[in-house]
Amino acid sequence: MQWINKEIIVGVEIGTTKIISLIGEILENKEIKILGLGICSSKGINKGDIHDLEALIKCIKKSTSQAEKMANYKINKINLSFSNKYIDYKNEIGMVSIKKNEVTKKDIRKVIKTAKSIKMYDKNHILHIIPQEYIIDEHKGIKNPLGLSGIRMQAKVHLITSDYSIEKNIIKAVEKCNIKINKIIFSGLASSKAILTDEEKKLGVCMLDIGGGTIDILIYINGSLQHSQVIPYAGDIITKDISYAFSSSLSDAENIKIKYGCASSFLQENLHNVQITRSNNKSKILNQEKLTEVIESRCLELLEIVNYEIHNVQKKLKKQGYKYNLNSGIVLTGGVAKTKFLTDCAKRIFQMPIRIGHAKNIQGKNNYIQTPEYSTAIGLLYFKKNKKNKKNNTFINKKNNWLYILNNWFHVKN
């Protein structure tokens, strides 16, 4: 057994189409070195709703086992992310008196506690509490009030809530794999951590994480998170449209989308018929022009839904007298962001700057891991371990560790 003092963080993203496990080493320059990667197609879960717990458990085990083998590391605690249509948000305000004429850490904790003391639906609970700004007396826009003098302090916070029963079932699935959970993080928040810059957040930016089952929307204005939302339509309905249009299975439709898909008939040249082999080994002629029409129309429709939500948020902020412009534009990430010419569709809908978001600060030759579909999993590695958790400094030589081999054999058997 080899012992090395390293800061290792593990992230597991549970999505509609796949489960991704990443093991990363946090370096002194705050870059991340990817040590292990595991990917398994999702089964037993759809848009956050679990319909087969045992199937999901097997997928989690397979994904984490792949990452363990690559990194030669035993996973025992993870940062976990998920997204579903029940994710919601509230912007709330708390207020306290400053008793010692100077803001203390106790005052900050108290004002945050006051802000989150709101009535929730029985099934919902707070997943994240994100401070937007502090106000001391009449002085607004304070990011860190510690040590400042005043009489009264307010805190404006962004609360992200989730359905407790869904969260509890996902936790149960992970714990059945003999893995403990360090933190639970909304997928969209993890992605924004990986791909957005502080400058973009300050200027105003909207991030769209377009995955297989959901679109996560996050809007930052003046450096603060103002809006978070989940739309329960995404890449899977594009796949279903292709399946219907070409009378193919969903798996064949997904392969067609990835290999031949394009989101703009204006920019795609040399559209022609191609011969494809389906999963039943039978050949079929695919009309690329028709395929592009199917994908383009659905992408435009999805982006129009998002655009409607953005305008609603901007109207609300403007009415309240806050900044509302997205001067940094729209950042697209998630698996669907890889669709050819999707940025062209987005420019037509949003009429503002568009870029594809890739994870930053990844060390080494991990270009494949910096593609948009890994944004959430990489973002999980930026959330530090809880203070009560000591650094996990155990690397395991599996060939010589009989306990690990026995445990792994038992999981495979079951």
Burial label, 301 (beta-carbon count in 10 A; 0-12, 13-18, 19+): middle
Neighbours of 30 (CB within 10 A): 8
Q: Which domains does the chain have, with CATH numbers?
A: 2-84+165-196+359-413 (3.30.420.40), 88-163 (3.30.1490.110), 229-355 (3.30.420.40)
Which pair of tokens denotes residue 250? 């969903």
pLDDT tens by residue, 69-95: 999 999 999 999 999 988 999 999 999
SS3 357: coil
What residues contact residue 142 under an 8 Å CB cut-off, 6+ apart? 133, 134, 135, 136, 148
Give, for all 414 residues of the chain, the pLDDT tens digit: 343 567 899 999 999 999 999 999 988 888 899 999 999 999 999 888 899 999 999 999 999 999 999 999 999 999 999 999 889 999 999 999 998 889 999 999 999 999 988 776 667 889 999 999 999 998 999 999 999 999 999 999 999 999 888 999 999 999 999 999 999 999 999 999 999 999 999 999 999 999 999 999 999 999 999 999 999 999 999 999 999 999 888 988 998 998 888 998 877 666 677 777 666 667 778 888 899 999 999 999 999 999 999 999 999 999 988 899 999 999 999 999 999 999 999 999 999 999 999 988 887 555 678 899 999 999 999 997 665 544 444 444 443 443 443 344 334 334
SS3 224: strand
What is the pLDDT, as a whole number, of residue 6?
78
Pairing mode, strands 273-277 and 283-287: antiparallel
CB 381 within 8 A of CB 26: yes
Specify the length of the chain in residues: 414
pTM of the model: 0.88
